[in-house]
Amino acid sequence: MTYAQGLHHVTAVAADPQRNVDFYTRVLGLRLVKKTVNQDDPFTYHLYYGDALGRPGTAMTFFPFPGVPAGQPGRGQPIETQFSVPLNTLTEWESRLRAAAVEISAGPSNGQADRLQFTDPDGLPLALIAEAPEAGDLESEPAIRGFAGLTLASHRPDSTARMLTELLGYAPVTSSGATLRFKSQGSVRADHIELIESPMMGRPGYGTVHHIAFRVPNRSALLEMLERVQAARLPCSGEVDRFYFRSVYFREPGGMLFEIATDDPGFTVDEPVESLGQTLKLTAEHEPMRAAIETSLPALEYF
Ligand code: ZN
């Protein structure tokens, strides 16, 4: 039976695209690996940040919607996106974030040994988690390797837990207090999920996660997962071609939008690794509108 292999990408809402690029490239050191548009709203950017190779499981993506109201992270949403960093680098990261005037809520300097918690300029909650290296990690210290995992705040934690275990193949691991913990069985990275009950009601807007995507290797695995989503009678998109991957979206019972996405063909399908992210990429459907799209989008400066 095919199951999800950890996270494929996390997509959040941002207010200003330039501020978003500055934070994720200059402060967090990620690479802008794809500059494209929202396929359902081609006059807004869809920005993808990842590791140097733009591999699946490392993609943090944003819809910068101009004029969107501020959101409130809380119940019905993923409420913390966690990145993996090498062991013994959190103190260095804390200094780097403080130097960039990032608001830090917990870290080594106040007794939190294993994670550094902070928000991006839009208020999106993030954490860096110190983890031992795994085979295949790019170890250019103290760089972010990709995702470590997520914390979800479900309206119905028991139902979300069943989604994670029965549909996506996550296994429960030791829980502490009210936090339920799960681990993807088919992945060594981007494999942790924490599920909590949050007293705070979530509200969509900038600074919140829009949806999260789980990895499967290819289309046949995706179609197998689609059958399982349909058998569970969840509201579902059917198969969608996102050009860089194929997807199925569904609304899980705890209120969150989940996606299952394929590793292939990946971000190098329309540009080589060396020049990922340098030019605006449009699908064949939107290419005839390039001039109008380029005129309406704000220019972005990045390196
Ligand atoms: Zn997505």
Q: State the distance from the centre of ligand 1 to the C-alpha of 112, rounded, in angstroms.
A: 31
Buried b / exposed e across 7-18, counting CB within 10 Å, b at 16+? Answer: bbbbbbbbbebe
Q: State the distance from the centre of ligand 1 to the C-alpha of 18, rounded, in angstroms.
A: 21
pLDDT by residue, tens only, the chain of 303 residues: 889 999 999 999 999 999 999 999 999 999 999 999 999 999 999 999 998 888 878 899 999 998 999 999 999 999 999 999 999 999 999 999 999 999 999 998 888 888 999 999 999 999 999 998 877 666 667 899 999 999 999 999 999 999 999 999 999 998 778 899 999 987 778 899 999 988 899 999 999 999 999 999 999 999 999 999 999 999 999 999 999 999 999 999 999 999 999 999 999 999 999 999 999 999 999 999 999 999 999 999 986
In a domain, 267, yes or no: yes
**Is-contact 2 203, C-beta < 8 A?**
no
Q: State the distance from the centre of ligand 1 to the C-alpha of 72, rounded, in angstroms.
A: 20
In a domain, 235, yes or no: yes
In a domain, 2, yes or no: no
In a domain, 302, yes or no: no
Count structural domains, the chain. 1
Q: State the distance from the centre of ligand 1 to the C-alpha of 116, rounded, in angstroms.
A: 26
Q: 275-278 — which CB contacts under 8 Å span 24+ positions?
A: 276/31, 276/32, 276/33, 276/34, 276/54, 277/31, 277/32, 277/33, 277/34, 277/35, 277/48, 278/35
Torsion 50-55-60-62 (CA) sign: positive
In a domain, 202, yes or no: yes
In a domain, 1, yes or no: no
In a domain, 301, yes or no: no
28's enclosing H/E stretch is none
- As residues whose CB is below 5 A from the ion ligand 1, the structure lists 11, 213, 259
Q: State the distance from the centre of ligand 1 to the C-alpha of 213, rounded, in angstroms.
A: 6
Q: What is the CATH number of the domain that holds 257?
A: 3.10.180.10
In a domain, 87, yes or no: yes
Residue ranges making up the domain that contains 68: 7-296
Distance CA 8, CA 240 (A): 15
Tell me the pTM: 0.95
